[in-house]
Amino acid sequence: MSLGLARARRLSLAFACTVTAAAPAAAQGWNYPSFNHPQIMSREFNFALADGGDYGTALVFQWREGFGIRTELKFDVGFADPDDEGDAYFIAGGAFGHRLAVASADMPLDLVLTGGVYGAFGDFNLFRVPVGLSVGHRFPLEGAMAVTPYVHPRVSVDFCSDCPGDDDSDISINFDLGADLELSRQLSLRFAALFAGGDLFGDDDGFGISIAWRPAALSPR
């Protein structure tokens, strides 16, 4: 038997055993939309409430800070309360966004490349490293109002530490379908549905709403 085939069989066996042993753990992580619409923020504070099925309710605070006109950093902190037995989870993470394109007559879409590292810490330690692309378009409305529908697909490498059985990893595909409603240049309401898929973190879909506030001297870039 070749080394590669033996390794593949060992990985397959470990994966199968871990999924079987850690099935309850998949429902004890966090599951909330990214709320990452395709604009680079000078500075923004976002307060979000999300429901993720068996993942329960999550309360998340997000801080976005721009560096130049093309790049921003985002920091998440919050708590998640799973519906099944177990303690609440502390959520923390960081991400970056880099503008690839601004909507124009030739290409009517805003494109922002995203990537980050997130963790949830409780009965088990769960980690996620997603890379994605936020795609949308901003439509001005009356006065200072505007709406930006968007999608945010991403591929994620997921890890579970201290799960029952062996520690494990997985690759999942998730995407948000959302909208940012600007009530003014300083205040937005954000709505997003999360469509999740993955063996390690489960595949519970979620939904979230948030209120985003930007200081008066700063606005989306």
CA distances from 55 to 38, 44, 72, 102 (A): 26, 27, 29, 35
- CATH code for the domain defined by 3-213: 2.40.160.20
Per-residue CA distances from 62 to 71, 105, 155, 164, 167 (Å): 16, 32, 21, 31, 29
Would you call 6 helix, strand, or coil by DSSP?
helix
Q: For the chain, what are the domain ranges?
A: 3-213
Alpha carbon separation from 125 to 30, 134, 161 (Å, rounded): 11, 27, 5
pTM for the full predicted model: 0.80
pLDDT the model gives residue 3: 38
Each residue's pLDDT tens digit, 45-104: 999 999 977 778 899 999 999 998 899 999 999 998 887 656 788 999 999 999 999 999
- Tell me the C-alpha distance between 198 and 113, whole Å: 22
pLDDT of residue 214: 95
**Parallel, antiparallel, or unpaired: how do β-strands 146-161 and 187-195 relate?**
unpaired
pLDDT, residue 86, reads 66
pLDDT < 70 stretches in the chain? 1-30, 84-86, 164-167, 198-203, 217-221
